[in-house]
Amino acid sequence: MTTPPLDDLLARLHVVAIPMRVPFRGVTTREAALVEGPAGWGEFGPFLEYEPPEAARWLAAAIESGYDEWPAPQRTAVPVNATVPAVAAQRVPGILARFPGCDTVKVKIGEPGQGRSDDVDRVAAVRDHLGPAGRIRVDANGAFDVAAATGLLARLAPYGIDYIEQPCATVPELRDVRRALARGGLDIKVAADESIRKAEDPLRVARQQAADLVVVKVAPLGGVRRALDIVDACGLPAVVSSALDTSVGIAAGVALAAALPDLYGACGLGTLNLMAGDVTSDPLLPRDGTLPVCRPVPSAELLQEYAVAPAREKWWRERVAACYPLLPA
């Protein structure tokens, strides 16, 4: 990977703050730093609570996008899923209306402060909207223990669940959920997300047969090429997801999905629909349920419109400087 001097990186930085249409993971305004490199634009947007050792991988991904070429694509467009945050069931149709052509939906479950009936009602509303043919996936972000996960999945099974993403926090728990589902005759796959992108050993999931597939994100794994290497080493089908990115970050996710030899259906790269703005006048939004392989170019006007206050820009620049010495080799 090309590693530019820190001064060059900081000189090319633009920091933006874009409001969310719907709060997602507690985020109401999404902040990110964009870098214009010789190869294109990169995005550095680790969530605010991430410390430099973890955030440094996000910086590596931004540098790769800005300074290096992505791997050759094996497809020219990538199918994407709709994403439904942990909202009340009556809000589901309005959210899905923003995802025309998407026949796969990922539904957030396990939100703190909500009951499991809220999860069931939300999934039921998605199934009503999709009809019998569409795919439904659920994402718990590690919210449950094994008993709670399997109990909830028994309630959700009548709605036709493709897979549950990260039902529990640990790899042994994922393995136990997978085994419990098989014993109970529930045809629901287990997908690993945090156990890949937050793990010191992302291959442990495959070694312990704890998942049927992996969900990978470019930024937390340090770039498109590193993510490809991890998927290859895992030997499991993969879905690519985003991290509440602008079109710049979404494009890197599309590049990864396009380069994967074995892509497991629609990817979670339609999340720009959850944001109330973007940095380019031609946002990377799904059309007929797909996204093209491309490199969006932010406009000077939108970078200015969404520019953060000087104090926040200083904070982000200091964050980049703190991450820079920790860039992965």
Burial class (CB in 10 A: 0-12, 13-18, 19+), 215: buried
Extents of the domains making up the chain = 6-68+300-326, 77-292
Is 305 annotated as belonging to a binding site? no
Q: Token pair of 17, please?
A: 């703050």
pLDDT digits (tens, 9 = 90+) for 257-288: 999 998 999 999 998 988 999 999 999 999 99
**249, 43 Cβ separation under 8 angstroms:** yes
Burial class (CB in 10 A: 0-12, 13-18, 19+), 200: exposed
Name the active-site residue from 108, 189, 198, 314: 108
Question: Is 314 considered catalytic here?
Answer: no
Digits of tens for pLDDT over the chain (329 positions)?
Answer: 789 999 999 999 999 999 998 887 788 999 999 999 999 999 999 999 999 999 999 999 999 999 999 999 999 999 999 999 999 999 999 999 989 899 999 999 999 999 999 999 999 999 999 999 999 999 999 999 999 999 999 999 999 999 999 999 999 999 999 999 999 999 999 999 988 887 778 889 999 999 999 999 999 999 999 999 999 999 999 999 998 999 999 999 999 999 999 899 999 999 898 899 999 999 999 999 999 999 999 999 999 999 999 999 999 999 999 999 999 98
Question: What pLDDT was estimated at residue 150?
Answer: 97
| Topology match between the domains 6-68+300-326 and 77-292 | no
Is 187 annotated as belonging to a binding site? no
CA distance 221 to 293: 20
120-154 burial: b if 16+ Cβ within 10 Å, else e: bebbbbbbebbeeebbbbbbbbbbbebebbbebbe
Q: Token pair of 319, please?
A: 């964050």
Question: What pLDDT was estimated at residue 329?
Answer: 80
Tell me the CATH number for domain 6-68+300-326: 3.30.390.10
Q: Classify domain 77-292 at the CATH topology level.
A: TIM Barrel (3.20.20)
pLDDT digits (tens, 9 = 90+) for 156-176: 999 999 999 999 999 999 999
Torsion angle (degrees, nearest 10) of CA 142, 267, 294, 98: -100
Question: What pLDDT was estimated at residue 77?
Answer: 94
Is 8 annotated as belonging to a binding site? no
Name the active-site residue from 106, 198, 217, 314: 217
**246, 271 Cβ separation under 8 angstroms:** no
Question: Is 106 considered catalytic here?
Answer: no
Residue 160: C-alpha distances to residues 57, 123, 175, 218, 248 (Å): 36, 10, 21, 29, 34
**241, 270 Cβ separation under 8 angstroms:** no
The residues, any chain, with a CB within 8 Å of residue 300's CB and separated by 6 or more, are none
**Predicted structure pTM score:** 0.93
CA distance 16 to 299: 12
